[in-house]
Amino acid sequence: MSSSSSQRMFQLKFDPLTGNSEWVIIDEDDDDEQTFQFHQPLLATTSYLDMLNDSTRNTAFREAIEKTITEPCHVLDIGAGTGLLSMMASRAMGGKGTVTACESYLPMVKLMKKVMRINGLEGRIKVINKRSDELEVGVDLSSCADVLVSEILDSELLGEGLIPTLQHAHDNLLVENPLTVPYRATTYGQLVESTFLWRLHDLHSNEAGASDGIRLTPPGLESVLSVKRQQYAMHVDPIGEELKPLSEPFKIFEFDFWKRPESYGETELCINATDDGRVHAVVSWWVLQLDREGTIYYSTAPRWIRSPTTTSPVDWCDHWKQCVWFVPGSGISVSKGEEIHLHATHNDTSISYNLDTQVSTNEDLHRGLTTGDFQLVLPPERAAIYGDKGWRLSMLKAVESVLQGRRPSLCLVADDSVFLPLLVAKISEASHVISSFPRLKENGLRYLQAAACANNISPNSIEVVGKGVKKLTMHDTNQKKVDLLIAEPFYFGHDSMLPWQNLRFWKDRTTLDYILSEDAIIIPSKGILRACAIHLPDLWKSRCCLNKIEGFDHSGVNATLGACGHLPKSEEGPCLPFFPWQSGEFDVLSETFDVMEFDFTKQICKCQGKSQVKFTKTGVCHGFVLWIDWVMDLQNSVVISTGPDKRYWKQGIKLLATPRTVGPQVSTSVQGCCSAAALEAFFNPSNGELKIILDFL
């Protein structure tokens, strides 16, 4: 969000421990270093660094630009980022012609100007801090551009607004029949069978055998609690051995950058099954043709796809993944040679599919409800967790353990769990359950009322308060003290945050102290921060410091983008959330060790811990992976781990500035091998940050 003068930006800053947001002002005239240092965590979570480290992408764009721009002309770069493509275009014209770089995000505009200054191009490229659809010829551009260079693509291709951007550019900013880099993009797909992908969306089938007797998606409510109908970006190579292709790859849509695209498109495909199986998902990817002649390509295809003209990047990268579209329910059974009809459509920003044998998702629901009334949308990983029999059994044991011999009259569910209110109400019929639903609110109430009835639970036993924890009073509890405070903990929208940011539960527990009874039970009772050393070369390489990119110095952006590797001693890379199993080559090099504990029976406070690292393998250590194990009962007998062997949770990854060769004591004969290290961590309850200090001994 920016002001009309385009000299100031208002950035929304989120506090994970309180759930509150505040506007932070970024001025164009602010001192660069102070502004960048303040906003480093924000820029570190973007994909710019990973993208700039993608040498295959960089080389393909450089070759296509040099081949396309052969004489001085007017070049427009939309979504210019650090200005790499603009600088390539300027160099291709020998510094002649005109290059206009359009970038709407003010922090990146400031970075771009810094990069251009370092490379001696300041003043030779016109930088405009606007959205491209705000540009006007005669105001921002001296004339219509002859060439468009752009890289506004996401893993789905269309999600960053490619179609409306091209439409406006062709209507208002470009000459007729312009040259473009890229020239064309084509999307492809493949039908696959995968139990793992099936578990990420079919909660109804996966929870059927749960021992707690609760159905979150009882007949008639299947579609109310579900994952969103969309393509999900995901690295599918790590599950390649668990995945069974049921078709050959097929072409879906083709988008030409050199002409105005349509907002809506559809295609009907007849696909022959190549094997017997059950279609659980459509895996899709795209291929860029960067030049008009069709000699320069870039592909996001999974590694099992082979093509004589296109190759996937040699190095792993995270900014572009494949996409997965879940086939509803338990999928479609097919036989080898059977013909499957697929209907694909696209709008301005997304692509969707329909297989003509799938069950309709528009059926009426029981108790007078329809999917049009309301819907609770879960992240795929949360749907899989709710359908996991082991996870639900742990929750059941924890609640039964604390309720044994006790009849709490009032229970408060402090997070966005839709499972715990039903579980507590079913096990302890004498309890009244209040759910706060920090994000779900009214829709959460409607769902719980319907689900309670479907599970033969009195809807009067569950109540949803429509306010945040900080605003709760004894009036909301009918002047009763809370006997049981419980959480998963799970906060809607936290799936891309660091594990310890779910310590919001501890902050909430502290805020609620005045309405808790003296002997109130707290679940989980504590959290344990755990860690292990990791070999993760692909992720480290994608996050390492930049130097020259196709001849242009980018070293000045490293601190701002949260780079690791070869940093000054006073600087260190941030800790970022990732799925290690999706992050390329991955191996564990040490025993798992405890770093510190968080005692939820007490109020939130500063914590610190230090542990020695015992290496179990000889190898190159690129960092440490950290997570929280939640102790769900007072006897420490029920522990829910969110570690790297659990694929439904992201962990925090702290990459080293310089990778170290490590190994157990017996391997000290290996030259340069380190056999001992220590990890120390400090938790700050005022902002939820975790400071990590590593020391190789």
Among the residue ranges 318-322, 354-358, 481-485, 494-498, the one predicted with the least confidence is 354-358
> Which pLDDT score, from 0 to 100, does residue 36 have?
46
Among the residue ranges 102-111, 272-281, 433-442, 629-638, the one predicted with the least confidence is 433-442
Helices (H), 420-485: 420-427, 441-454
Measured CA to CA, the distance from residue 601 to residue 634 in angstroms comes to: 10
Q: What 8-state DSSP symbol labels residue 141? A: B
> Which pLDDT score, from 0 to 100, does residue 3 have?
40
For 607, the enclosing helix (H) or strand (E) is strand 607-613
Q: Which residues contact 123 (CB under 8 A, 6 or more apart)?
A: none
β-strands 587-588, 593-599: how paired? unpaired
> Which pLDDT score, from 0 to 100, does residue 34 have?
46
The mean pLDDT of 517-543, rounded to a whole number, is: 96
> Which pLDDT score, from 0 to 100, does residue 6 have?
46
The mean pLDDT of 367-387, rounded to a whole number, is: 76
Is residue 680 within 8 A of residue 610, CB to CB? The reply is: yes
Closest CA to 345 of 355, 357, 359: 355
- Active-site residues, by number, are 151, 160
SS3 495: coil
555 pLDDT above the threshold of 90: yes
The mean pLDDT of 672-693, rounded to a whole number, is: 93
Q: Which domains does the chain have, with CATH numbers?
A: 47-182 (3.40.50.150), 185-199+222-362 (2.70.160.11), 388-523 (3.40.50.150), 526-696 (2.70.160.11)
C-alpha count within 13 angstroms, C-beta hemisphere, residue 451: 28
Q: Which residue has the higher pLDDT, 385 or 311?
A: 385
Number of residues that make up the chain: 697
446 pLDDT above the threshold of 50: yes
Among the residue ranges 49-58, 360-369, 477-486, the one predicted with the least confidence is 360-369
pLDDT band at 438; cut points 50, 70, 90: confident
Measured CA to CA, the distance from residue 290 to residue 62 in angstroms comes to: 10
SS3 sequence of 223-236: CCEEECCCCEEECC
537 pLDDT above the threshold of 80: yes
Closest CA to 53 of 476, 555, 477, 484: 555
SS3 sequence of 271-309: EECCCCEEECEEEEEEEEECCCCCCCEEECCCCCCCCCC
Is residue 499 within 8 A of residue 649, CB to CB? The reply is: yes
SS3 598: strand
pLDDT tens for 168-224 read 999 999 999 999 999 999 999 999 999 999 999 999 999 998 989 999 999 888 888
pLDDT band at 121; cut points 50, 70, 90: very high
> Which pLDDT score, from 0 to 100, does residue 224 have?
86
Measured CA to CA, the distance from residue 527 to residue 530 in angstroms comes to: 9
